[in-house]
Amino acid sequence: MFKYVVKRFLQMLVMLFALSVIVFLMVRLIPGDPVTMMLGQGAGKEAIAAERARLGLDYPLPQQYVMWLTNVFHGDFGTSITTHKPVLTEIVRRYPLTIIIAVGSTALSAVVGIAFGIISSVYHGKLADNILMFVSLFAVSTPSFFLAILLLIIFSVTLKWFPSGGASSWVGLVLPIITLGMQEVGYITRITRSAMLDVLGEDYIRTSRARGVAEHVVICVHALKNAIIPVLTSIGLRFGSLLAGATLVETVFSLAGIGRLTVDAVAGRDYPLIQGCVLILAATFVIVNTVVDVLYTVADPRIEFDS
Amino acid sequence: MKEIVQRFCRKRMSVVAGVMLILIIAACAFAPLYVHVDPLKQNLFNTYARPSAEHLLGTDNLGRDILVRLLYGGRSSLAISFSGVLSGTAVGVILGVIAGYFGGIADTLISRLIDVLLAFPGLLLAIVVVAILGSGESNTVVAIAIFSIPTVARMVRGEVLKIRSADYIAVCKVMGESSARVIVRHVIPNAISQIIVNVTLQLGTAILTTSALSFLGLGVQPPAPEWGAMLSSARDVLRSYPLPAVVPGIAITLVVVCFSLVGDGLRDALDPRLKNA
């Protein structure tokens, strides 16, 4: 197993390397001269020459990459073109809020989704199951920005329970977390349901029932224990997409998270900032997925390691 | 074929969704033939009009007819999603077949490429594409295409690997059929039902991604009507008049739900073995 864990982490390093190459090449892939694009058409010749020299554009590509990566390892992602502050400072300032939203909605969706999934599997084919499947279908199909606007209209504009934007206190985070969590509830309900249905059909469950174990113990202890591992794994694997998905929610609720930062950077053609945000978000995704994957194999001894 | 249709029709929800989808797509696609109002035409003397006989869903902040914009917006969202998913699927199928059928270095390279594409979580991949190419309708299509490549390629590769080891493929090779012929005559037809199901399900995701990009201001640019862009521009007046935001939101949700139900129905109809998988 140790060998597997090491192999998985080596794979992760390769992935991170590939990511860094792509993020590096992003700016070079822009049609036209990247420096003119970055500084705008009106930029003076000297400014362009200075920026070229700073980016090392006159060196061969591999050398440019090494220079860029060395800087990144030193925490130097360059300077934002629009705010003139170091990219890393911007990211450090805005990332925590996005992480809070993502963690909050993961927790919310795990509790609600697993509960829904269990209920759905217990009442398989009955009314409760059909209703919950219908709810989860709409939960995954409603665009989060639309749900956010609906919640705003109901709870903020009409009922005035929550502020319509900003995160001056935790109250401002309630609606964003619910919005982002709803979509997850849909996925987790389905995953829990099918995992529970698989387990509930097994012989040992029938044995437990025959032995006269109370039904709620059979379901919540015997069955759930085996069904929960793949469910928790899926929840972990979806965490990274939540970080990116938070972009839409941050936009509607005017929250200064990294998602909004990325979109503003793209809109403002602020390439150093885009590179920094994309690299950080994708790297988080890859690292979280590796850790979840490794935990999964540790948690379930039945999994084979050679695949 | 008859059997497939019969199996599909047994799922009532999927049939209802399919009929609704066809109606919505037809209504949007043929809008220019029967709607004689310009979706961009403003009337600043008639802004925020409530629904009436003249404007069935009322007018927006610039006095434009919301229903007309909804139909034209659907045209745009659906056209982008269809062209994006279909071109992405074409590339994905080719990559998947090459990787699965030939194996070796080609497989390693393509599989790593898929891994890298999947390393960008959700919407971020589409945002990266737009960051490189810029916003606009055609670049959104490219973003959707690249977004759908990895899933298709991985699925087709898996299918091809399964089919490749089947005895009848070995027989074809022994009989001297060329690789191209084996792929076109035997491998692809075997994977086609999975590909169709995948396209249907991906169309739903594509609608969500297209409208999300436009909502963020990175996709279709105003004043062109697009569901996500319509929602975005209606945000400013949400407090006083939520209708212009709610209408395109419901349209997106409805279409995505329908694609999902039709996809599920198709999966069960085309491949009964996959039931509940």
Q: What is the pLDDT of residues B79-127, one digit of tens each?
A: 999 999 999 999 999 999 999 888 889 999 999 889 889 888 878 999 9
Residue with tokens 């003076």: A44
Please write down the HEC assignment for all residues of A22-46: HHHHHHHHCCCCHHHHHHCCCCCHH
The answer to whether A39 and A54 have CB atoms below 8 angstroms apart is: no
- A34: nearest CA in chain B? B132
Region of residue A102 (phi > 0: left; psi between -120 and 50: alpha; otherwise: beta) = alpha
What's the pLDDT band for B273 if we cut at 50, 70, 90?
low
Res. B205: pLDDT tops 50: yes
Which secondary structure element, helix H or strand E, spans residue B270, and what is its range? Answer: helix B243-270
- Cα B39 versus chain centre, distance: 23
pLDDT in tens, B53-70: 677 777 777 778 888 888
Which residues of A lie inside 8 Å of B (Cβ-Cβ)? 15, 18-19, 22, 26, 29-31, 137-138, 140-143, 145-146, 149-150, 152-153, 157, 194, 197, 240-241, 243-245, 247-248, 251-252, 262-263, 265-267, 271, 274, 278, 281-282, 285-286
User: Comparing C-alpha atoms, which of A4, A246, A216 is closest to residue A122?
Assistant: A216
Where are the strands (E) in chain B, listed by range?
none
What's the pLDDT band for B191 if we cut at 50, 70, 90?
confident
Q: Delineate the domains of chain B, giving CATH numbers in brackets.
A: 2-31+64-274 (1.10.3720.10)
Percent of chain B with pLDDT over 90: 35
pLDDT in tens, A91-115: 999 999 999 999 999 999 999 999 9
Integer Cα distance of B51 and A24 in angstroms: 52
Residues of A in contact with B235 (CB under 8 A): 149, 252
Integer Cα distance of A231 and A113 in angstroms: 10
What does pTM read for this prediction?
Answer: 0.88
Average pLDDT score over residue span B212-239:
87
Kindly give the parts of chain A with pLDDT less than 50: 307
Region of residue B50 (phi > 0: left; psi between -120 and 50: alpha; otherwise: beta) = beta
Q: Which residue has the higher pLDDT, B263 or A298?
A: B263
For residue A244, give how far its alpha carbon lies from the nearest alpha carbon of chain B (Å).
Answer: 6
Q: Report chain B's mean pLDDT, rounded to a whole number.
A: 86
Indicate the residue of A22, A137, A247 with minimum beta-carbon distance to B216. Answer: A247
Residue with tokens 């990559």: B95
Interface contact B123-A248, CB threshold 8 A: yes
Integer Cα distance of B233 and B235 in angstroms: 5
Residues of B in contact with A243 (CB under 8 A): 121
> Alpha-carbon Rg of chain A, whole angstroms?
24
Letter for the amino acid at B175? M
pLDDT score, position A307: 43
User: Comparing C-alpha atoms, which of B205, B206, B198, B256 is closest to residue B84?
Assistant: B206
Can you give the residue ranges of every domain in chain A? 11-73, 92-299
Res. B153: pLDDT tops 90: yes
pLDDT score, position B172: 82
Integer Cα distance of A161 and A91 in angstroms: 31
Which secondary structure element, helix H or strand E, spans residue B30, and what is its range? Answer: none
Residues of B in contact with A240 (CB under 8 A): 121
Which two tokens mark B58?
């009322």
Beta bridge partners of A86: A79
> Per CATH, which fold does A92-299 belong to?
MetI-like fold (1.10.3720)
Interface contact A263-B239, CB threshold 8 A: no
Q: Is B216 on the interface with A (CB under 8 A)?
A: yes
pLDDT score, position B160: 87
Q: Is B119 on the interface with A (CB under 8 A)?
A: yes
pLDDT score, position B185: 82
Q: Which whole-number Å values give the CA distances from A146 to A35, B178, B228, B252, B253, in the listed order? A: 37, 52, 9, 9, 9
pLDDT score, position B2: 75
- Cα A202 versus chain centre, distance: 34
User: Comparing C-alpha atoms, which of B215, B18, B252, B226 is closest to residue A138?
Assistant: B252
Residue with tokens 């999927």: B14
Q: How many CA atoms lie within 13 A of A250 on its CB side?
A: 26
Beta bridge partners of A79: A86
Name which of B120, B218, B274 to mutate to probe chain A: the one with the most chain A Cβ atoms within 10 A of its Cβ.
Answer: B120
User: Comparing C-alpha atoms, which of B215, B122, B210 is closest to residue A243?
Assistant: B122
Integer Cα distance of B248 and B229 in angstroms: 9
User: Comparing C-alpha atoms, which of A294, A221, A278, A224 is closest to residue A19?
Assistant: A278
pLDDT score, position B277: 40
The answer to whether B247 and B70 have CB atoms below 8 angstroms apart is: yes
Q: What ipTM was reported for this prediction? A: 0.86
pLDDT score, position A305: 54
